[in-house]
Amino acid sequence: MLTREENERLTQVGPGTAMGNLLRRYWHVVAARAELDEDPVRPVRLLGEDLTLFRDQRGRLGLIGERCAHRAISLAYGIPQEKGLRCAYHGWTYDTEGRVVDMPFEPACLPLRVTAYPVQEVGGLVFAYLGPEPTPLLPRHELFARDEFDKSVEITPLPCSWLQCMDNSLDPVHYEHLHVAYGNYVMKKLGKPPKMAAARHLKIDFDVFAYGVYKRRLVEGAGEDSDDWRIGHPILFPNTLLVGDAKAVRYQIRVPIDDSHTVHYNYNCWPRKNKTPAWEGIPVERTSLFEPNGSIVADSIVKQDMLGWVGQGPISDRTLEHLVTSDKGVILYHRMLLDEMEKVDRGEDPMGVVRDPAVNEPYIRIRWEDRAKEMFWPGGRTFEWTVPGLAHSA
Ligand code: FES
Ligand SMILES: [Fe+2]
């Protein structure tokens, strides 16, 4: 159980808050490239800040303030130019640094500027950095950086705090009930046969490593040498889960929009079937968790997890919780978040911030359970997943 103040410290993400300061040390997804192909100017909300994302006619990306410095119309109505974004109302034009570079009806252009943040792209996703300088490198995590997969992106807005998604990822035992008992109950209500079989958890454990936490579980029928127990699968601090199934491996990225809203990106990768470079045509699908009548039909694992997240309300009231032995991953993650906030207060980089190009090139490799690897690359094709020097090893 947390006090109200402790819960606020963990869930408030706006400018000047402790969690907001920590999250601002990381790059966050603000769009998929395909969305900018559809419309090169988009309103964006991230960490409680309203902004305008655009791609100018030369292909440069900009993320600037929500409103025009002239008479405060939304810049999301702007027109991309050779050099920036022109306001729809009277044509003031902004470059990617937020500087006004043209005032068509004035004798001279005044030296005005709006907020602007760095934006970069990797693997078909557009990331923004809202923190202090010096700007760290955009981490080239493996699935983003490698071009030998077919990929798809699924985007789902959720009316809840991002931390509820992460709490769920640090809680392996919910699998038995939410995905098996509840999931099969949903199937029964739909008149369909049960989809999932129970795998009783015998023990769970967590290993902190340079980029986050490995979660490990030993389930009934599996040996101590099973990959789920020996290696586990990683959570990339602060907001990404790696997960795989028989069809694909994916990052689940939980982008904090504000204290009570999250945009969930499923970044799916599977063995290549065509020859087009993956990011030339990564299809994007925007989905809703909710049926038209507002209900949730949780007939898949991801929808069941999302039900768990939004079912705790917009901001989970953790003063009501009773954390027990099986919640040790949740307790660990909150401790890590608080510790990393303190590092930021001391002026240090929190975990996973990348500044050394040698670490980032050609991409950041992270060891993962071999079960997923085998499903993904059948026939014994091997990749080295181990990051040299990490605390965790098989
Ligand atoms: S309100 Fe934007 S140019 Fe006037
Ligand atoms: Fe789950």
Q: What is the pLDDT of residues 11-64, one digit of tens each?
A: 999 999 999 999 999 999 999 999 999 999 999 999 999 999 999 999 999 999
Ligand 2 center–CA 165 separation, angstroms: 10
Which ligand 1 atom sits nearest the alpha carbon of residue 71?
1
Q: Looking at ligand 1, which residue's alpha carbon is closest to its atom 1?
A: 71
Q: Establish whether residue 70 lines the binding site of ligand 1, counting it when its CB lies within 6 angstroms of any ligand atom.
A: yes
Domains of the chain are: 33-129 (2.102.10.10), 142-376 (3.90.380)
**Structure-model confidence comparison of residues 155 and 387, the more confident one:** 155
331 lines ligand 1 (CB under 6 A): no
Residue 168 Cα to ligand 2 midpoint, Å, equals: 7
CA dihedral 226, 228, 231, 234 (to 10 degrees): 170
Regarding the beta carbon of 89 and ligand 1, being less than 6 Å apart is answered yes
Peptide bond into 134 cis (omega under 30): yes
Return d(Cα 300, Cα 284) in angstroms, integer: 19
Mean of per-residue pLDDT scores for the chain? 91
In angstroms, what is the span from residue 158 Cα to ligand 2's centroid?
Answer: 16
- Three-state DSSP class for residue 189: helix
User: Looking at the CA of 308, which ligand is closest?
Assistant: 2
pLDDT in tens, 178-190: 999 999 999 999 9
Ligand in nearest proximity to the CA of 241: 2
Q: Which atom of ligand 1 is nearest to the CA of 87?
A: 2
Atom of ligand 1 nearest to the CA of 103: 3
Work out whether strand 93-94 and strand 79-81 pair parallel, antiparallel, or are unpaired: unpaired
Give 90 Cα–ligand 1 centroid separation in angstroms.
Answer: 5
How big is the CA angle at 376 (ends 372 and 381), to the nearest 5 degrees?
105
Range with lowest mean pLDDT among 9-13, 110-114, 245-249: 245-249
Q: Is the CB of 67 under 6 A from ligand 1?
A: no
10 Å CB burial of residue 82 (0-12, 13-18, 19+) is: exposed
307 Cα: distance to centroid of ligand 2 (angstroms):
10
201-234 residue pLDDT tens? 999 999 999 999 999 999 998 889 888 888 888 9
- Ligand 1 centroid to residue 39 C-alpha, Å: 21
Atom of ligand 1 nearest to the CA of 92: 3
Which residue stretches of the chain are H helix? 4-11, 18-23, 33-38, 142-145, 162-169, 174, 183-189, 227-230, 301-310, 328-345, 357-360, 370-376
Cβ 104 under 6 angstroms from ligand 1: no
Do β-strands 149-158 and 284-286 pair in parallel, antiparallel, or remain unpaired? parallel
Mutation to probe ligand 1, out of 77, 87, 101, 106 (largest number of atoms < 8 A from CB): 87
pLDDT score for 1: 83
CA of 327 to the centre of ligand 2 (A): 14
Q: Between β-strands 249-258 and 233-236, what pairing exists: parallel, antiparallel or unpaired?
A: unpaired
Of 73, 81, 103, 114, the one to substitute when testing ligand 1's pocket (max ligand atoms within 8 A of C-beta) is: 73
Higher pLDDT, 119 or 376: 119
Instruction: Compare 218 and 386 and report the one with higher pLDDT.
Output: 218
Whole-structure pTM value? 0.93
Distance 340 CA to ligand 2 centre (A): 25
Answer yes or no: is pLDDT of 378 > 50.
no
